[in-house]
Amino acid sequence: MSTYELLVCDLRTDRLLDRIPVTGVSYDDYIGKTGSLSATIPVPDSTVARRIRTSLLPGRTMVYLERWTAFAGEVVWGGILWTRTPTRDARGFYSCPIQAADLESYLRAHRMLTTDLVAAAADQFAIARQIVTYAQSLPGGDLAIEMDPSQLSGVLRDRSYSRYDLPRLGDMLDKLAQVQGGFEWRIQIYRSDDGVRHRVLRLGYPKLTSGGQPTVLSSPGPVTAYALPEDATQQANSWQSRGASVSTDMSSESVPLMSALLTTPADIAAGWPLLENSSDYSTVETQDVLDSHAQADLARALRPVTVPSVTIVGQPPPALGSTIRLRITDTWYYDGLDALYRLVGYKVSPEERGRPESAELYLEAA
């Protein structure tokens, strides 16, 4: 049986403040989405209450979730404590539920651009690092996020960000990554063999991947449940995007910059109905950038969106970006399913009160 403990650290310096056992743990992590942690700290007496009140300060505390087995402890999640809720129930028992989110939440929700930022013919990875470097350059903004300045994607971009838009830095990274020929990013938390904890900006072009050989998951086997949806509600084969207003004449009607109308004649010829959709980028003022957004949006919407998930029991999830080979033989897949996916997220429910540890894995077609 595994147990869990919080390593409580100062957010800015990573100085260890305390180690606190937790129960009711649930945590998740994703590529392209903010991960979270929820847990409950039992409070048997005022000594524990004093430790929690002193060290677990929402908004300035970094928490690492350490998973202990019979052999060793492993840091499986890390992020910023955002809420704590001291609680006393009707029987007089005290506890402190907490909620935390990974470091991407800091950039997506709590940091804005307050000066102009310009990049010309720069590698998109360099622009991403420029945004994070800006975040860490201001007093109080350095969270010791490590970056590899030599890593390049080979794709050059022009970008001009205005302080008057007050954009969130995480949103800037997301929009930079989501154009045609874009990339993926996340902040990885891990502890190296020498015991040092790391916070690293990971960039992947065109995708973030991990490992070599696929991890084989099967049913019958460790896969106890699955949901493999086929969803056409957001499907489109014709697309147009709107950008910022381009009118400079106050006496005339203001009209937005428009991308080219993108169509897929081969899709219509194959028998699909015309399915139209659009997107808005109100801060984009450049035609080629807007066209690149539209092309990427159409590419994502062209075929039914599927977010397969499988539940496994008795083993921790593979690393994000890993290739999963899923094999299923059952009533639905009576002829057998053998398909490759990429792991893009997971949610872990640890073992507790006789319930085995399980992980719901979120996949995308490889």
| Residues 197, 193: Cα–Cα separation, whole Å | 10
| Residues 133, 148: Cα–Cα separation, whole Å | 12
Regions of the chain with pLDDT less than 70: 1, 247-252, 305
How many residues can be counted in the chain? 366
Q: Please give the C-alpha separations between residue 282 and each of 120, 241, 288, in angstroms, as whole numbers.
A: 21, 10, 15
Report residue 126: phi and psi, to 5°: -65, -35
SS3 state at 189? strand
Strand 238-245 versus strand 276-280 pairing type = parallel
Looking at residue 247, what is its pLDDT? Answer: 67
Token pair listed for 61: 């505390």
Calculate helix-pair angle for 124-137, 169-177, nearest 10 degrees.
180
**Radius of gyration (Cα) for the chain, nearest Å?**
23
* DSSP state for residue 237 in the 8-state scheme: S
Nearest residue to 226 (alpha-carbon basis) of 309, 109, 135, 143: 309
Report residue 151: phi and psi, to 5°: -75, 125
> 80-102: string of b/e by CB count within 10 Å (b at 16+)?
bbbebeeeeeeeeebbbebebbb
Report residue 208: phi and psi, to 5°: -85, 125
Under 8 Å CB-to-CB from 175, ≥6 apart: which residues?
281, 293
What would the pLDDT profile of 223-258 be if each residue is shown by its tens digit?
Answer: 999 999 988 999 999 999 999 987 666 666 788 999
pTM of the full structure: 0.88
Looking at residue 231, what is its pLDDT? Answer: 87
Looking at residue 221, what is its pLDDT? Answer: 93
